[in-house]
Structure formats: C-alpha cells, structure tokens
C-alpha cells in the first residue's frame, strides 16, 4: 500500500546567528529552506514542499486520499 499525504504540516522556523531565517517542514524529510524574513522563509519552504509532493505523486511514491 502506498503512503498518503497529510492535510496538515508543521513548519518549524528559527533565526540563524547571521540573521537569516531557516524553515523546515517536519513531516517531509529534506524540506528545508532559507529566507531573509519570516514570511519569505515560510513561502520558500511551502513552495519546496509542493514541488517535493508533486514529484512523489508523479513517481507513484504517495497517493491522495
């Protein structure tokens, strides 16, 4: 049986010592992005997550419920 995707994802954000922001979506390994503001880093990590999910759908690694 194939994995399904969640309707909800957890975005964890932190500010680095150099002032950049880093965000990660905990439920999708490897989905990590940087940005110069909190809003930018959230947008960046959400866009990356959508690309990763699309790739997994195209390759049959996950299916939608």
pLDDT tens per residue, range 15-35 = 999 999 999 999 999 999 999
What is the domain range of residue 54? Answer: 3-63
- Its pTM surpasses 0.75: yes
Share of the chain above pLDDT 90, in %: 80
Distance, C-alpha 40 to centroid of its chain = 13
**CATH for 38:** 3.30.160.250
* pLDDT given at position 4: 54
Q: Does 3 have pLDDT greater than 70?
A: no
DSSP state of 43: H
DSSP state of 7: S
Coil, helix or strand at residue 19:
coil
Q: How many separate domains does the chain show?
A: 1
Give 5: exposed, middle or buried? Use CB within 10 Å, 0-12, 13-18, 19+.
middle
């Amino acid at each position: 049986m194939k994995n399904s995707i969640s309707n909800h994802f957890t975005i964890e954000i932190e500010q680095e010592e150099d002032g950049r922001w880093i965000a990660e979506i905990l439920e999708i390994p490897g989905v990590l992005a940087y940005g110069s503001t909190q809003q930018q880093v959230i947008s960046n990590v959400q866009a990356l997550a959508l690309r990763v999910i699309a790739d997994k759908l195209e390759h049959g690694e996950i299916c939608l419920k």
